[in-house]
């Protein structure tokens, strides 16, 4: 009852720091100065943003001014209010306040397909309903010199509700064959964690890791849902050429400035609606954005001494009902064992199938809960039959469905064989490998309350739906009380 009430009262309250601005939405080229620290309310409490290098003057700053042709800057899709990502609700709000004219709705990827009538809401349904942007990727994938990469499978479009994958202009049969998948923006914050943990050989595949084109050194391969970008610099170039539709490449100085900004901005929940302030002496040492700023990146969560999100002992023992619930949720995340099964790149790498482990087996990196090694795993969100989409074809989902047929010579997907139906092949669209179909790089689990919905395809509207997915997927048999604890915990991150 409580929770429903809060959800209906979601209307974002305005931060006092932005006096004179009508909303907490940062417009491109608004020339404001972002304070060194700031807070924004959301349905689960308050998110805190820290600029570790001090106040940020956005005037002329390449993260905050449009560098392309469609009026968009990075900040359109990476807003402080939403933990440097976006919520789907914020898109509905933007649609209403701007009559659908905000550059975030640009035809190129802010609509289901650029060839749809752009003034109609239905043409932007994936962004409005699920917070998804179109990600057009070339098929087959290309090497850095532009030559086609060898691939192990054939891909066919089985269902195409957006029309984009079968379009003569934009689809798989167009002059530049393209697959369109639809994905959530990942937070452009706390990136020192995302960018740490490089290993020369990728544990999951035994193959050499991608390298930084500037230094030739291996990269961690945790950037983007499919690890297609080796560095923040290459990512920024692609975002400028793609999302911002620039005609020419950005300058070195612009790229440096973007990476400098991204590398010092931290985002995390700072107050929980029920449990109150989260950055308290004697409390768990990982909550709140200051901990993200101060802690070391690239550390494995340790069961005994320093679990993924720290120690909650004082809260577990204390008398505050909600803090105790958050602490119990942290224990479930870290210690509650269940049978993880049929998960490519976890069960298939020598751990056994099934294997009795925990949430933190996959989400193992301290402070953000990503994977310390290259983090693509097929947990099942996009592949039939465990996908999050409606289970019958009659209750239609708005996502495209692809049929993947792997060649007889290729290693099959370890659990789904050589014919796979999927709404997003994930890493396989980049590697061309059958074993990677449906593998998605784990996101950081911070600022979650500020940026629903969840999973790469925005299919879980609430944290409760995330937990329900896992409960079903791995038959965890969580009680209602346990689910509530886990939701309270995730909402405090």
Calculate the alpha carbon distances from 20 to 24, 155, 377, 380, 398 in Å. 10, 52, 45, 46, 39
User: Closest distance between ligand HEC and the C-beta of residue 188, in Å?
Assistant: 4
Q: Is residue 135 at the binding interface for ligand HEC, with CB under 6 A as the rule?
A: yes
Give the C-alpha separation, 337 to 368, whole Å: 20
Stretch binding ligand HEC (CB under 6 A), from 153-161, 233-241, 277-285, 406-414: 233-241
Which residue lies nearer to ligand HEC by CB, 14 or 414? Answer: 414
Q: Is 327 in the site for ligand HEC (CB under 6 A)?
A: no
* CB neighbour list of residue 460: distance below 8 Å, 6 or more residues apart: 388, 452, 453, 454, 466, 468, 469
Q: How far is the CB of 381 from ligand HEC (least distance, A)?
A: 3
CA atoms within 13 A on the CB side of 118: 14
**Residue that is written with structure tokens 């060839």 in the block:** 115
Candidate residues 442, 449, 487, 492; the one interacting with ligand HEC per rule CB under 6 A:
442
How many residues sit close enough to ligand HEC to count as binding (CB under 6 A)? 50
Tokens of 319: 């008398």
Are the beta carbons of 386 and 334 closer than 8 angstroms? no
**Span near ligand HEC by CB under 6 A; candidates 239-247, 264-272, 279-287, 410-418:** 239-247
Sign of CA dihedral 226, 232, 233, 236: positive
Interacting span for ligand HEC (CB under 6 A) from 153-161, 197-205, 238-246, 390-398: 238-246
Smallest distance from ligand HEC to CB 282, Å: 25
Identify residues 342-361 at the interface with ligand HEC (CB under 6 A): 343, 346, 359, 361
- Which of 26, 164, 265, 340 is close enough to bind ligand HEC by CB under 6 A? 340
Sign of the torsion angle spanned by Cα atoms 420, 423, 425, 429:
positive
Check residue 493 for interaction with ligand HEC (CB under 6 A).
Answer: no
Scanning residues 47 to 76, which ones bind ligand HEC (CB under 6 A)?
A: 72, 74, 76
Nearer to ligand HEC, 159 or 186 (CB): 186
Window 87-116: contact mask with ligand HEC (x via CB under 6 A): ----------------------xx------
- Does 278 bind ligand HEC (CB under 6 A)? Our answer is no
Interatomic CA distance for residues 135 and 405, integer angstroms: 22
If one asks whether residue 292 binds ligand HEC (CB under 6 A), the answer comes out as: no
Phi/psi of residue 109, nearest 5 degrees = -140, 0
Q: Using the rule CB under 6 A, is 178 a contact of ligand HEC?
A: no
Tell me: does residue 128 bind ligand HEC (CB under 6 A): no
Contact 403, 156 (CB under 8 A): yes
Which region holds residue 461: left if phi is over 0, alpha if psi is between -120 and 50, else beta? alpha
Identify the residue whose tokens are 């995302």.
194
The Cα-based distances of 324 to 139, 145, 409, 443 in angstroms read 50, 55, 53, 26
> Contact between 372 and ligand HEC (CB under 6 A)?
no
Q: What is the token pair recorded at 209?
A: 């890791």
Residues that bind ligand HEC (CB under 6 A): 72, 74, 76-78, 109-110, 133, 135, 183, 185-186, 188, 194, 223-226, 232, 235-236, 239-240, 243-244, 258, 262, 333, 340, 343, 346, 359, 361-363, 377, 379, 381, 440, 442-443, 445, 448, 454-456, 466, 470, 486, 490
């Amino acid at each position: 009852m409580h929770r429903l009430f809060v959800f209906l009262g979601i209307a974002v309250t305005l931060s006092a720091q932005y006096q004179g601005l009508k909303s907490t939405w940062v417009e491109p080229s608004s020339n404001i100065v972002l304070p060194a620290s700031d807070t924004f309310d959301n349905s689960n409490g308050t998110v805190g943003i820290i600029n570790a290098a001090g106040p940020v003057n956005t005037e002329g700053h390449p993260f905050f001014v449009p560098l392309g042709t469609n009026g968009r800057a990075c900040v359109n899709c990476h807003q402080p209010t939403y933990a440097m990502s976006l919520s789907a609700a914020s898109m509905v709000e933007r649609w209403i306040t701007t009559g659908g004219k905000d550059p975030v709705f640009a035809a190129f990827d802010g609509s289901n397909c650029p060839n749809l009538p752009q003034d109609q809401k239905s043409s932007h349904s994936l962004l409005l309903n699920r917070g998804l942007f179109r990600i057009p990727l070339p098929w087959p994938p290309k090497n850095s010199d532009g030559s086609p990469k060898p691939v192990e499978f054939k891909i066919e479009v089985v269902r195409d509700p957006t029309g984009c994958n079968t379009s003569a202009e934009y689809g798989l049969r167009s002059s530049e064959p393209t697959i369109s998948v639809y994905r959530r923006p990942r937070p452009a914050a706390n990136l020192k964690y995302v960018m740490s943990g490089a290993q020369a050989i990728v544990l999951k595949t035994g193959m050499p890791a991608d390298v930084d084109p500037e230094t030739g050194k291996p990269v961690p391969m945790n950037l983007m849902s499919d690890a297609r970008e080796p560095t923040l610099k290459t990512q920024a170039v692609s975002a400028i050429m793609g999302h911002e539709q620039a005609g020419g490449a950005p300058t070195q100085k612009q790229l440096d400035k973007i990476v400098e900004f991204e590398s010092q901005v931290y985002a995390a929940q700072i107050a929980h609606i029920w449990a109150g302030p989260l950055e308290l002496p004697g409390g768990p040492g990982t909550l709140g954005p200051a901990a993200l700023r101060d802690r070391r990146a690239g550390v494995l969560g340790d069961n005994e001494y320093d679990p993924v999100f720290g120690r909650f002992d004082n809260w577990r023992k204390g008398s505050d009902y909600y803090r105790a619930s958050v602490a119990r949720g942290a224990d479930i995340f870290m210690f509650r064992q269940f049978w993880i099964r049929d998960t490519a790149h976890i069960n298939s790498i020598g751990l056994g199938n099934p294997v009795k482990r925990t949430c933190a087996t996959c989400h193992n990196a301290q402070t953000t809960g990503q994977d310390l090694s290259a983090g693509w795993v097929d947990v099942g969100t996009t592949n039939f039959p465990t996908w999050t989409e409606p289970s019958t074809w009659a209750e239609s989902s708005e996502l495209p469905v692809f049929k993947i047929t792997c060649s007889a010579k290729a290693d099959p997907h370890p659990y789904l064989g050589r014919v796979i139906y999927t709404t997003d092949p994930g890493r396989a669209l980049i590697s061309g490998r059958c074993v990677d179909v449906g593998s998605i790089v784990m996101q950081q689990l911070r600022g979650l309350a500020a940026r629903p919905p969840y999973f790469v395809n925005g299919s879980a509207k609430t944290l409760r739906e995330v937990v329900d997915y896992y409960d079903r997927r791995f038959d965890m048999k969580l009680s209602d009380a346990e689910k509530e604890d886990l939701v309270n915990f995730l909402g405090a991150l």
